[in-house]
Amino acid sequence: MTGGSSGIGRALGAALVRRGDRVVLTGTDGARAARVAEELTGVGPGRASAAVLDVRDGAAVAGLVTGTVEQQGRLDLLVNNAGVGIGGPVEDLALAHWDRAIDVNLRGVVHGVHAAYPVMLRQGSGHIVNVASVAGLLPNPGFTPYASTKWGVVGLSLSLRGEAAAHGVRVSVVCPGGVDTPMLDKGMPSDLPRVPAVEAADVRAVITELSGGRLYSADALAADVLRGVERNRAIIVAPRQARIAWRLMRLSPSLLVRFAAATTPLRDAGTGSTDGTGTAAPGHLSRRDGAG
């Protein structure tokens, strides 16, 4: 589980441990990942361990997968959850912003798939779960780099699912809406150039409003994800409000594009963010642990 130290990753890890699984949680902050793994092991009956990982490092991702298989004997589930939120007016973004979004959100998923998929092919079984965002299904003006990568993750997941099915390997993509996690209160990575519109945002307030006045809990989403995995769903969208928006997008893409253009937070509030764990809304700017 990449990005497993907080938010949706932590909630998913807890749910897996509670059902008896052995889970490896990764993050860029090794001490925090270790603390979370110890806490989750305490809820049992499964157990969690921790590893330091930057998903931008393909060799490190491959090494972790290889080591896990050597220790545990097999790999039944891979959750590519680590990600970073980049938003703001496109004209105010440097190439560094685009590079970070692509390297973490898309290339990081590619690294996970490239390492785990051959293992699962040899086993003849396994499930890859890629955490994207509702931003990978809907237009997100003011949030273009993040949305671009999440659309890429959705396309990667559905295309791979078509190939993998014949070999007994399953693939699902998770597209959450607004979820309540501590990452709502964090901005863009501090090593990237500042974006004035981003600095003015009250992220939690913006996302709460975009979510109909109420954020979804990470634990509730984790339950949705595991239920979707058990049912082998191709696309797992939650909560209900996100599913409604997705249905509207499929019925009338032009309507949703016009609506998004009229309601982007960048116009009135500077920007907005999702929970930092894969959920999305216009102007999402927070980050998930494990993102680099």
Active site residues: 146
Instruction: State residue 21 phi and psi, 5-degree precision.
Output: -80, 160
Cα separation, 192 vs 290, in Å, equals 16
Side-chain-side CA neighbours of residue 223 (13 Å)? 5
CA distances from 121 to 47, 94, 126, 158, 259 (A): 26, 40, 8, 17, 43
Determine contact, residues 178/208, Cβ cutoff 8 Å: yes
Cα separation, 285 vs 292, in Å, equals 15
Angle, vertex CA 235, rays to CA 231 and CA 240, nearest 5:
95
What does the buried/exposed string (b/e) look like for 35-59 if buried means 16 or more CB atoms within 10 Å of the residue's CB?
ebbeebbeeeebbbbbbebbbbeee
Cα separation, 242 vs 211, in Å, equals 8
| CA-closest candidate to residue 8, choices 129, 100, 92, 97 | 129
Query: What residue has token string 């589980």?
Result: 1
> What is the SS3 assignment for 269?
coil
